[in-house]
Chain A
Amino acid sequence: MTPAGTEPVAVITGAASGIGRACADVMRRAGWRTAGIDLNASDTGLSLRADVSDRAAVAAVVDQVAERFGRIDLLVSAAGYYEEGIDVADITLAQWDRMLSVILGGTVNCCAAVLPHMLSRGEGTIVAISSELALAGSATDLHYVAAKGAVLGLVKSLAMEVAETSIRVNAVAPGPTDTPLLAPDSLWRKPDYLATLPLGRLVRPDEIAHAVYYLATEGSMYCGEVLSPNAGAVI
């Protein structure tokens, strides 16, 4: 048993639902203290509400985490949303800007906020949630895929920037996962699509969380890695 108050601390964005929530559950069950950043309340040790695309707001809540817990060992950047079924010509500038500011901007903002805390201790792990779609492309959701692809560039470069410290930056690129982000009529839920997957099913949120947990606990030799639990969608 780790003495109370010394357990490692995970900051999880998007912790109120889906993959972020599953990450919070897995980390808590493993004995970690958890802080959730979300637009909504999360079932975490410290539930904080903030819009990840707002840099000042993110900095403020991350400082609250550090103040409360005294350390930040892990950032899981999972906050995001999804839009599908839009042809590229129909993606409005507003849709493009918002997608980029939440997914890419949100990841940048969170990395920028936690890094000083990690650098001061010389260690920490950042896991950004990207998408299998960023590895192989996808039609009718180009703005989402572009943002998730940009997250991979961010991860690989930040990983190199801090490589000589003990801070590790990696990505998890989930396949189609059974979360509220996938609408009931989503293309990715259709039996014809699922039948193309070697596993023949959607990924479960906890399967993403376990990949995050592995990177956080035994991943010190990964630097800019993209781990993709995707049910065989991209091999």
Chain B
Amino acid sequence: MALVTGAAQGVGHETALRLAADGFAVAVNDITDDGRLTQLAERIDGIAVPADISDPVAGPAVVETVASRLGPVQVLVANAAAMAMSPFLEAKPEQWWHQIDVNLSGHFRVIQAVISGMRAKRQGRIVIITSGWGVIGHPNATAYAASKAGLIALTKGLGRELGPDGILTNAIAPSFIDTEQLRVDADDAGITLDEMRQRYRELIPVRQLASAGDIAAAVAFLAGPGSSAVIGQVLQPNGGVTRTSA
């Protein structure tokens, strides 16, 4: 069975659908359930476990709830994230710590909670959704980028530490994805959604935004039988966004 955090929308939502289609029993988590989480759970015949994973008690408790209802977590997709943009010097400490708490520390605790069940079976997959910004950085997103870079180091450390137990940890670092976040970006920039899409496309060598389905497919690969020798790696389905171009 699989647990997906941050599944109410976007990549997490699409990932839950994909893993269910691939035969997994899926538990879906997000910070609250405004109806979308339950609706998704019903659609995939899974369960909804809303909780704030940055809460040191509620986060690990999600894993216990899932284990009691569906059995131990075999695949964890660490996808939930918080992001706030601001110039570095204007970033408030609470903004900094909120992003670190959700993205990095929250998943640290959730991962701690799934390990014993995976170790008992000597198999497990941990798929961490990091970000291209955690690889190459981004102006006005230093806290987010730092938290996501921290997840990459976590991926590598866990890959080494848990690999001998048969637990494979890998990460996916997407860049521009066509999700609900684009609407937020467009509103921030004061332009239309289509103008936002076009602006992003021009930054991507393949001139195409990733779909949430593209990222879900990467998760499915890392959760599935074909990736049994992939460990501690960071996949970047980003259309080639790794450098500026002439």
Chain A residues within CB distance 8 Å of chain B = 159-160, 163-164, 168, 175, 197-200, 203-204, 207-208, 210-211, 213-214, 218-225, 227-232, 235
Contacts and interface: CB of A to CB of B under 8 A. Distances in A.
Contacts of A228: 230, 233
B123 to A, nearest CB: 12
Contact of A164 (B156, B164, B207, B221): B207
B163 A221 contact: no
Contacts of B208: 220-221
A207 B163 contact: no
* Size bracket, chain B contacts: 20 to 34
Main secondary structure of the interface of B (DSSP, over half): loop
Given A159-B240, A221-B237, A223-B240, A175 B206 contact: no
Interface in B204-246: 205-208, 210, 214, 217-218, 221, 225-233, 235-240, 242, 245
A168 B206 CA distance: 9
B229 A198 contact: no
Interface string B193-208: 0000000000001111
A10 to B, nearest CB: 16
Interface of B: 156, 159-160, 163-164, 205-208, 210, 214, 217-218, 221, 225-233, 235-240, 242, 245
A70 to B, nearest CB: 26
Contact of B206 (A164, A213, A218, A235): A164
Given A211-B227, A223-B240, A225-B235, 7 more contacts: A159-B240, A163-B205, A175-B229, A198-B160, A211-B230, A220-B214, A223-B238
